[in-house]
Structure 1
Amino acid sequence: MGASVGSGGPLTSVEICAGAGGQAIGLHDAGFKHKALLEIDPDAVATLRKNADQLDMDEEWILEEDLKKFVNGGVCTRLNIKRGELDLLAGGVPCPPFSIAGKQLGEEDDRDLFPAMLDLVDELFPRAVMIENVRGLLGSPKFSAYRTSILKRLSAQYHVAAVEGDISRTWRIMEAKDFGVPQLRPRAILVAIRKDLVERGHSFIWPVYRIKDGNRGVYDALFDSMKDRCYKHGKEGKRVFREWVKKAGSEANRHAVAPTLVGGSKKHGGADLGPTRAKRAWAELGIDAMGVANDPDDGKCDPERDLFREAGPMLTVKQAAIIQGFPDSWEFSGRKTARYRQVGNAFPPPVAEAVGRAIRAALRPEQQDEVLRNYVMEDSLPAEELPDIQLDMFDSTGFEAVPA
């Protein structure tokens, strides 16, 4: 391959719609230095600032901003970045315009931030672009023209990574469970590398799955925290724990992963773990999904409400974060429902890390063996072993769709 990019220092990134930091954690772990994180929700911004030291960044570059207004304000100057010097622009643009669980208004939805994201690409002209969204963006034919318009605008100056070399499949459906996350959570990912780099031999290869810690189930993920919660409440707590182990740790469920966590929106009630089908799946794992428990550290834990329930204990926000792939050290700000929504709407850090490492390998090919050693990449598998994920395979909860 050609000469690597920016080999004298860390790769740099700017992230929009950063939420509670799932993508930021993953990209940091992949070796990127965040120049700035942009987010509009004040609770999520407070979460990012609380954990800024874990991202090795200064709080002043965690910006509470409306992206549409921010793009119109001279971005390069505000971020102190010269056009063309940034390595990666990343963003999980809001999913409601495309979510199967919503009205699917797409570009007619005022929450659609794809135009602002593409304006930011034009202004910053980064070496690579990564965009994440729900798979609903791909699953509906009604968004075909919109997907084409995004691709057309990007492809003027970028090579958009195709799946299995098929240019008609430029969005990759990635399942969190393939990267050590105990949850289904299919997400749509697009990666683009600047054409001048591709012409110099920098090519992006999709990660297929993670070798280390693969196939981690809910039982293994929650065992320690569930035992700790229950054992604080004497005999009854130990009984609850044994019942949970009997269900979640059974031969049938021992390696089962959770349905997709649903964060919801501020317009709709309190927190729970998703629609009816998801609640049934949680019940099979010994979890009551009708609400979210108070974290013991809050001093508000009511064992009768949170643990001693007929259907099993409810999850705490911290446990939901484990299911989402957050590190134990990550702290969330805001009231319980606000914290849960931050978790439920997040991009799982291990998935972001996998894509981030693949981008890093494209920009710095001399580091490829080092940064990808725990992953199986698309170019290393024969066609018959590649995942065959159809766009309409999953329903809104992340379950495989049941044919009518």
Structure 2
Amino acid sequence: MCAGAGGLSLGLERAGFDPILLLDQWPDACATLHINRPAWDVREDDLLRFDPVDHQQVYDVDLLAGGLPRVKGTAAVHRAENKDTSVQVFRAAVELVYGVQPRAVLFENLPHIVTKESYEPLRRFVKEELEHLGYRHEWFILNAADYRVPQDRPVGFLIAFKGDAMDEFTLPERVLDPPVTVGAALSDSMAAGGWPGAAVWAAQADRIAPTIVGGSLNRGGADLGPKGSKRVWARMGVDGGTVADAVPGPDFVWDPERGRAGMMALTVEQVAVLQGFPTSWGFVGRKTSRYRQVGHATPPPLAEALGRSIHRVLTCDGTPALGHAS
């Protein structure tokens, strides 16, 4: 559900799951999924209108997963009267559990949905619905940086299993290797256009990226986040106020003392690397659309680590799971 550019789906595929249906209403995101995985069954449709009766293949899947739209805390306070689309989509995703009856459920969202008091009505709704259907669940937060993603990206998750399988679930172990820095992740691509200063820039970009955000789908252009994030990027000599069309060429003069005029911007493809996408994964659409697909995605390495933990639970009784995910 809400498959976007496929970060969650790609990670789950790597973890051993076979996506049988992917749903998103964003045409560019669906086109991105098509070009990268032509065999996947991708449907351009609104989750609020989706009826599993019309899609028999989703019944009794092993895993129902979704990177759901970010829910604003204030929008979750009065759920009974709520008109906010993100809350409606979240509720529809929970209610879809009733129709699909998966063995496990995985939802991804903001970390605040796990901890903040303003989200308590939504968490209570989830608890009531899932327990009524015979599922046990947990909320938790993982940081993508702990799974070899060169970015400080805390992510909120809901995990649920039918019956007592929740007892067998453990969070994926953190990777204890030194974190991948921005410079290490982007040094090759920064030099690809012939810029002789790429190695010097990479050596000083010796930290992980701040959280990359996709922004609103309906307004504004592409940039690397709020003011605080832009200041972090500026300390690495990167202009976080825009997204580049190409990497620096041989004549580029990097001089951060000149402000934005002396700094390079990152391309969509470079931002995708910082999200943990493989360089072979393409994105469809104009630059702003492609950037937003990347910014809204679940980092595939994080999804893979979590997917492996779920997969172990589904196979721990000695009967191999089909590995089907919807």
**TM-score normalised per structure 1:** 0.71
- Of 213, 221, 224 in structure 1, the residue corresponding to residue 188 of structure 2 is 224
Give the distance between the partners of 2:311 and 2:211, measured in 1 at CA: 28
Counterpart amino acid of 1:93? Answer: L
Give 3-state SS (helix, strand or coil) of 1:209's partner. coil
The percent of aligned pairs where both chains have the same amino acid is: 40
The answer on whether the counterparts of 1:87 and 1:128 sit within 8 Å (CA) in structure 2 is yes
Corresponding position: 1:130 with 2:106: yes
Report matched runs for 1:384-403 at 5 Å: none
Shift of residue 204, structure 1, vs aligned partner: 1.1
For 2:232, the equivalent position in structure 1 comes to 281
| Residues 27, 247 of structure 1: alpha-carbon distance in 2 compared, 3 angstrom cutoff | same
The answer on whether the counterparts of 1:306 and 1:313 sit within 8 Å (CA) in structure 2 is no
Corresponding position: 1:188 with 2:156: yes
**TM-score normalised per structure 2:** 0.87
Give 3-state SS (helix, strand or coil) of 2:289's partner. helix
- Of 143, 156, 167 in structure 2, the residue corresponding to residue 175 of structure 1 is 143
Shift of residue 206, structure 1, vs aligned partner: 1.2
Aligned residue pairs total 309
Q: Deviations over 1:146-197 (max 9, x none)?
A: 2122122112234434xxxxxxxx31110000000000111111111111x6
Give the distance between the partners of 1:311 and 1:160, measured in 2 at CA: 54
For 2:30, the equivalent position in structure 1 comes to 45
| Residues 306, 204 of structure 1: alpha-carbon distance in 2 compared, 3 angstrom cutoff | farther
Report matched runs for 1:345-356 at 5 Å: 345-356=296-307
| Residues 41, 329 of structure 1: alpha-carbon distance in 2 compared, 3 angstrom cutoff | same
Give the distance between the partners of 1:154 and 1:38, measured in 2 at CA: 22
For 1:370, the equivalent position in structure 2 comes to none
Give the distance between the partners of 1:287 and 1:268, measured in 2 at CA: 23
Report matched runs for 1:190-269 at 5 Å: 190-195=158-163, 198=165, 203-210=168-175, 215-229=179-193, 231=194, 237-239=195-197, 241-248=198-205, 254=206, 256-269=207-220
Give 3-state SS (helix, strand or coil) of 1:48's partner. helix
The answer on whether the counterparts of 2:253 and 2:262 sit within 8 Å (CA) in structure 1 is no
The answer on whether the counterparts of 1:49 and 1:62 sit within 8 Å (CA) in structure 2 is yes
RMSD: 2.5
Higher relative CO (Cα under 8 Å, sequence separation at least 6) belongs to 2
Shift of residue 260, structure 1, vs aligned partner: 0.5
Give the distance between the partners of 1:333 and 1:312, measured in 2 at CA: 27
Consecutive unaligned residues in structure 2, runs of 5 or more: 319-326
Give the distance between the partners of 2:67 and 2:109, measured in 1 at CA: 6
Give the distance between the partners of 1:117 and 1:275, measured in 2 at CA: 29
Shift of residue 208, structure 1, vs aligned partner: 3.5
For 1:361, the equivalent position in structure 2 comes to 312
Corresponding position: 1:140 with 2:116: yes
| Residues 62, 306 of structure 1: alpha-carbon distance in 2 compared, 3 angstrom cutoff | farther
| Residues 304, 273 of structure 1: alpha-carbon distance in 2 compared, 3 angstrom cutoff | farther
Shift of residue 352, structure 1, vs aligned partner: 0.7
For 1:66, the equivalent position in structure 2 comes to 46
Q: Deviations over 1:81-134 (max 9, x none)?
A: 4x4x31000011100434xxxxx3124212321211112100010000001101
The answer on whether the counterparts of 2:268 and 2:291 sit within 8 Å (CA) in structure 1 is yes
